[in-house]
Amino acid sequence: MSTAGDLLKRLVIGRALRSDRLGETLLPKKIALPVFASDALSSVAYAPDEIFLTLSIAGLAAYSFSWKIGLIVAVVMLTVVASYRQNVHAYPSGGGDYEVATVNLGPRAGLTVASALLVDYVLTVAVSVSSGVQNAASAIGFVRGHEAIVAVGLVLLLMAVNLRGVKESGSAFAVPTYGFMIMILGMTAYGLSRHFFGTLPLAESAKYTIVPESGFQHGFTGLASAFLLLRAFSSGCAALTGVEAISNGVPAFKKPKSQNAAATLLLMGGVAVTMLIGIIALGNITHLRFVDSVNTGARLMLDGRLLPADVHQDTVISQLARAVFGGQSLFFYMTVAFTGIILILAANTAFNGFPVLGSILAKDGFLPRQLHTRGDRLAYSNGIVLLAGFAIVLIIAFNAQVTRLIQLYIVGVFISFTLSQTGMVRHWTRLLLTETDPAARARMQRARIINGFGLVMTGTVLVIVLLTKFTRGAWIALAAMAVLYVLMGTIRKHYDRVRVELEPDDELVAQPSRNHAIVLVSKIHAPTLRALAYARATRPHDLTALTVAVDPADSRALQEEWDRRGLPVPLTIIDSPYREVTRPVLDYVRRMRLQSPRDVVTVFIPEYVVGRWWEQLLHNQSALRLKGRLLYQPGVMVTSVPYQLHSSDRRKDDDDSGVAPGDVRRALDAASSGT
CATH number of the domain that residue 37 is part of: 1.20.1740.10
Domain containing 522 — which CATH number?
Answer: 3.40.50
Per the domain annotation, does 225 fall within a domain?
A: yes
- 275-285 burial, b if ≥16 CB within 10 A, otherwise e? bbbbbbbbbeb
Do 587 and 472 lie in one domain? The reply is no
pLDDT for position 138: 64
Residue 508 forms part of a structural domain: no
Residues 262 and 199 in one domain: yes
Q: How many domains does the chain have?
A: 2
pLDDT of residue 347: 79
Rounded to whole angstroms, what are the CA distances from 355 to 117, 358, 380, 409, 416? 11, 5, 6, 19, 17
220 and 328 belong to one structural domain: yes
Is 493 buried (19+), middle (13-18) or exposed (0-12) by CB count in 10 A? exposed
Domain assignment present for 330: yes
Q: 251 phi and psi, to 5 degrees?
A: -60, -20
Local mean pLDDT, 10-residue blocks, the chain (675 residues): 50 50 62 76 82 87 88 89 85 80 92 91 86 71 76 87 65 80 94 94 90 73 80 82 76 82 88 92 92 78 82 86 90 88 78 84 88 68 88 88 74 87 92 89 90 88 84 85 94 88 64 86 89 93 91 88 91 85 89 85 86 63 78 89 75 48 40 38
Whole domain around residue 61: which residue ranges?
19-413+464-496
Check: CB of residue 245 under 8 Å from CB of residue 14.
no
Judge if 136 and 272 occupy the same domain. Answer: yes
Say how far apart CA 325 and CA 323 lie, in whole Å. 6
Confirm whether 581 is domain-assigned: yes
Phi-psi region of 357 (alpha: psi -120 to 50; beta: other; left: phi over 0): alpha
pLDDT score, position 671: 36
Cα(376)–Cα(359) distance, integer angstroms: 16
Do 254 and 149 fall into the same domain?
A: yes
Same domain, 491 and 548: no
Q: What is the DSSP string of 316-329?
A: HHHHHHHHHH-TT-
C-alpha–C-alpha distance, residues 572 and 61, integer Å:
93
* Cβ proximity of 94 and 250 under 8 Å: yes
In a domain, 502, yes or no: no
Position 383 in a domain: yes
Domain shared by 468 and 540, yes or no: no
Q: Kindly list the distances between the CA atom of residue 57 and the CA atoms of 144, 291, 490, 604, in Å, as whole numbers in the listed order.
A: 25, 8, 44, 75
Contact 224, 23 (CB under 8 A): no
Please tell me whether residues 586 and 484 are part of one structural domain: no
Please, what's the b/e burial string for 123-137 (b: 16 or more CB within 10 A of its CB; e: otherwise)?
Answer: bbbbbbbbbbbbbbb
From the CB of residue 378, how many other CB atoms can be counted at a distance below 10 Å? Answer: 18
Residues 6+ apart with CB under 8 A from 452: 421, 425
Q: Are residues 409 and 517 in the same domain?
A: no
Residue 521 and residue 642 in contact, taking contact as beta carbons nearer than 8 Å = no
Q: Within its chain, how far is the Cα of 374 from the centroid? A: 15
Same domain, 479 and 533: no
- Rounded to the nearest angstrom, the gap between the alpha carbon of residue 299 and the centroid of all alpha carbons in its chain is 38
The answer to the question of residue 357 being in a domain is yes
Q: Is 663 domain-assigned? A: yes
Q: Are residues 473 and 530 both part of a single domain?
A: no
327 and 395 inside one domain: yes
